[in-house]
Amino acid sequence: MSETPVNAPRKLPGSLEANRRLDRWLRINRDGTVTVFPGKVEIGQGILTVFTQIVAEELDVALERVRLAPSDTSYSPDEGITSGSRSVQEGGIALLHAAAEARDLLLQRAASRLGVSLEQLAVEDGVVTARSGGAITYWDLTSEELLAREATGDIAPKSPKEHTLIGTPVPRHDIPGKISGAPAYVQDLELPGMLHGRIVRPPSPGARLTAFDEAQVRSMPGIVEVVRDGSFLGVIAEREEQAIRALNRCKRIAQWHEISALPGTDPRYLLRADAKTEVISEKSDEAALARSKRSLEAEYTRPFIAHASMAPSCAVATHDKGAFTVWTHSQGIYPLRTELTKVLGVPERAITVIHVEGAGCYGHNGADDAACDAALLARAVPGRPVRVQWMREDEFGWEPFGSAMVVRMSGAVDGEGRIVNWTHDLWSHGHSTRPVGRDGANLLGAWYLEKPVPAATPGNPPLPAGGSHRNAIPLYEFPNQRITNHLVLRAPLRTSALRSLGAHPNVFAIESFMDELAAAAGADPVEFRLRHLKDPRARAVIEAAAEEAGWRKGGKGDGARGRGIGFARYKNVGCYAAVVVEVEIGNEIAVRRAWAAVDAGLAINPDGIANQIEGGVIQTVSWTLKEQVQYDAQRVTTLNWTDYPILSFAEAPAVEVTLINRPGEPPLGTGEGAQGPTAAAIGNAVFNAMGVRVRDMPLTRERVIAALA
């Protein structure tokens, strides 16, 4: 076993470990402001507001003094990808400790200037005063070299008892501009001399361009360039409408050889596919198994689901003297830069990637692909920015989807109503094919070049985060347990990270099956869960959600209305969440109300946590009741909003969130905590209302009728 060297640097908290210099995280400015350099990016979750709270709290400055610099590979800390509800746990914790150390350095200078000890100093809004008299400001104390050093990790942040900003519902700084319609997104970005590009996609995955008459397109008004590299085809025009006209012309005259053969849309095709099988959790107790009195089996499915971003992906790129600059709404600007080097054939130092918010994401949609498209087109017109806006059919037809999944459950209860055996088998494609592949490039355009850069080999992130097997291991205590992941590597359609990854279908199956076993044991669903849980924080969120909803033990639906509950701890290391929903069965299933309880440890911005849970509940209602990607034997046929209905404003439930704040515990991410519990709560509420179990998502009218029959 290797030993840690005596002089090895201390392991630092969160993302500070990989980005140890303090000036990578913040700067104290002479003009009375503080600049924060986050490596995590804003995708609607409100984390940048949380980061300003953290820094203002630790430095003892007014929130209004804190400025945010856009994430940019030329200066920002490399925090990988903004995903997995890890932003506060990684970036927020790094800023907490960096700001605490910066405050200490400032106070040391103040003590020296004022001729007093550190213990005599107090700070209010950046003004340092000594008890014996005298004052000086941060802005007088700062200098270029102040933070030009590595963090030591020696300075502890404030205790929760000292907090005045952390724990308060600070309004999000980005909302006013978005509400007023001010330019906020990469889709709004305009640069001098900017050209407009469109990409001509193949008619189906894997199709190859066999013939194309470029002259017909080059002669069209406003066309600056036609870019063809193998089967990658794009047009560049002076104006956007000219690029769209050229795109439509290209679609009419381009000839393709199609090779795709897609399976049927029933996810059970996964059961027949070659899979990499791995037992991820196993324990046994023969004596407990011998007490088994009743056994059950069930199968649950989810179809392919789209991100369905409200605005199609967009990027802007320039190429000048061998260097590229790319503006993108990617969730990982550094991994994207690395991937672009493989496609463009230039070193990393020749590429700068700058994050600009995009309208809708929460997972791996088309953002990175659009960035690659823009860079490939910009290479053809050096010196002029090129804006590539995907069309709606591009986003639906070519973004990576959340994988279809099949989950088979079996279990047994004893005479005392306790689960004595539990098995969980899941079949899925990979849930993470972001641009981080080591053996290829996960960028759509790269696969169609004359010299293609193939896609990286798909796989699963390791547990506890996981991919297809995220949240497959239950938090409940069972004496016999076997969890098996069947990872199907060859996917008929692109799959990657969709909000919560495998947690949505895995928890749907686990929590639905818990209800089925509760019914078999003649137990109330809430009480049944509690009898199998030891974790007091898990028990607390279930009890809180049930109390807020007015849960009645053993309560039954009336044929038209019913209630159900679902619970999980996200990734088994993140936030705890329990959700109760009330459904109304009419022409369709409708979720009218939802009550959620969440424990995210230290709550930095309670409003932000509530927003995340509310949004997660509403999005999951849409997934669970409505959403499914359709395709035929060759291509995706879901290409617009008519083909892919989502929950409307009128259909959104009222959501009440109860927050269990634990200031003494580390903060935990919440952006993906409600998805699995909400899906299961809906399925359980339908059963409570009607006495029938619908196990295939989406839970449509047709499936309810079939279950009744």
Span 47-71, pLDDT tens digits: 999 999 999 999 999 999 999 999 9
Structural domain contains residue 452: no
Proportion of the chain above pLDDT 70, given as a percent: 99
For residues 628 and 687, the answer to whether their CB atoms sit within 8 Å is no
In a domain, 3, yes or no: no
Kind plus residue range of the DSSP H or E element containing 237:
strand 232-237
Distances (CA, A) of 56 to 63, 525, 624, 668: 5, 44, 40, 20
Domain count, the chain: 3
The answer to whether residues 387 and 196 touch, using CB atoms and an 8 Å cutoff, is: yes
Look at residues 106, 136, 171 and tell me which one is the last residue of a structural domain. 171
Give, to the nearest 10 degrees, the angle between helix 503-521 and helix 606-625. 80
Do residues 700 and 616 both lie within one domain?
yes
Domain check: are 482 and 413 in the same one? yes
Q: Is the same domain home to 384 and 472?
A: no
The answer to whether 329 and 185 are in contact (CB under 8 A) is: yes
132 and 254 inside one domain: no
Q: Is the peptide bond before 335 cis (omega within 30 degrees of 0)?
A: no
Whether 4 shows a pLDDT value over 60: the answer reads no
Identify whether residues 327 and 419 lie together within a single domain: no
383 and 417 within one domain: no
In a domain, 1, yes or no: no
**Containing structural domain, residue 123:** 14-171
3-state helix, strand, coil in the chain (%, to 5): 30, 25, 45
331/243 same-domain check = yes
| 456 assigned to some structural domain | no
3-state secondary structure 527-576: HHHHCCCCCHHHHHHHHHHHHHHCCCCCCCCCCCEEEEEEEEEHHHCCCE
Q: List strands edge to edge, sheet with 195-199.
A: 223-229, 232-237, 195-199, 386-389, 314-320, 323-328, 351-355
**What's the average model confidence in pLDDT over 460-473?**
94
Going by C-beta distance under 8 Å and a sequence separation of 6 or more, which residues neighbour residue 628? 265, 303, 304, 305, 638, 697, 698
DSSP 3-state of 255: strand
pLDDT at residue 117 greater than cutoff 70: yes
Rounded to whole angstroms, how far apart are CA atoms 171 and 607?
8
C-alpha pair distances (Å), 654 with each of 342, 621, 627 = 48, 12, 20
Amino acid letter, 169: P
pLDDT band of residue 7 (cuts 50, 70, 90) is low
Q: Is the pLDDT of residue 161 over 70?
A: yes
Calpha distance 93→47 (Å, rounded): 12
How is residue 237 written in tokens? 């025009």
- HEC per residue, 503-531: HHHHHHHHHHHHHHHHHHHCCCHHHHHHC
Q: Alpha carbon of 276 to those of 429, 464, 625: distances in Å?
A: 10, 19, 31
Query: Within this chain, do residues 286 and 351 fall inside the same structural domain, yes or no?
Result: no
Return the residue matching tokens 């990607």.
629
pLDDT on residue 86: 86
In this structure, the answer to whether residues 426 and 350 fall within a common structural domain is: no
How far is it, in rounded angstroms, from Cα 378 to Cα 391?
19
Q: Helix H segments across 602-657?
A: 606-625
Q: How far apart are CA 39 and CA 126, in angstroms?
A: 25
Span 236-253, pLDDT tens digits: 999 999 999 999 999 999
Give the model's pLDDT for residue 259.
Answer: 83
- CB neighbour list of residue 423: distance below 8 Å, 6 or more residues apart: 409, 410, 411, 481, 482, 483, 484
Domain boundary among 171, 197, 226: 171
Which amino acid, residue 247? L
Q: Is residue 161 part of a domain?
A: yes
pLDDT averaged over every residue in the chain: 95
277 & 288 share domain: yes
Identify the CA nearest to 635 among candidates 625, 627, 643. Answer: 643
For residue 40, give the 3-state DSSP assignment. coil
Say whether pLDDT at 218 is over 50.
yes
Instruction: For residue range 474-507, list pLDDT tens digits in order.
Output: 999 999 999 999 999 999 999 999 999 999 999 9
Residue 209 lies in a domain: yes
Residue 191 lies in a domain: yes
Q: Give percent of the chain above pLDDT 90.
A: 91
pTM of the model: 0.95
Please, is 133 exposed, middle or buried when counting C-beta atoms within 10 Å of its C-beta (0-12, 13-18, 19+)? exposed
3-class SS of residue 615:
helix
Choose among 190, 630, 631: nearest CA to 389: 190
HEC states along 435-504? CCCCCCCCCHHHHHCCCCCCCCCCCCCCCCCCCCCCCCCCCCCCCCEEEEEEECCCCCCCECCECCCCHH
DSSP state of 265: S
How does residue 655 score in pLDDT terms, banded at 50, 70 and 90? very high
* Whether residues 637 and 534 fall in one domain: yes
The reported pLDDT for the residue numbered 568 is 98
What are the pLDDT digits (tens) for 592-619? 999 999 999 999 999 999 999 999 999 9
pLDDT tens track for 535-574: 999 999 999 999 999 999 999 999 999 999 999 999 999 9
DSSP conformation class of 634: S
What is the reported pLDDT for 10?
A: 87
CA atoms within 13 Å, Cβ hemisphere of 669: 26
Average pLDDT over residues 393-404: 96
- Mean pLDDT, to the nearest integer, of 406-427? 98
* Beta strands 223-229; 232-237: pairing state: antiparallel
Clarify whether residues 560 and 609 are in a common domain: yes
Q: What is the pLDDT of residue 1?
A: 47
CATH number of the domain to which 577 belongs: 3.30.365.10
Q: How far apart are CA 445 and CA 432, in angstroms?
A: 18
pLDDT tens figures, 299-355: 999 999 999 998 999 999 999 999 999 999 999 999 999 999 999 999 999 999 999
Does 180 reside within a domain? no
Residue 341: which residues within 8 A CB-CB, separation 6 or more? 347, 348, 351
Identify which of 281, 272, 672, 311 has the alpha carbon closest to the alpha carbon of residue 463: 281
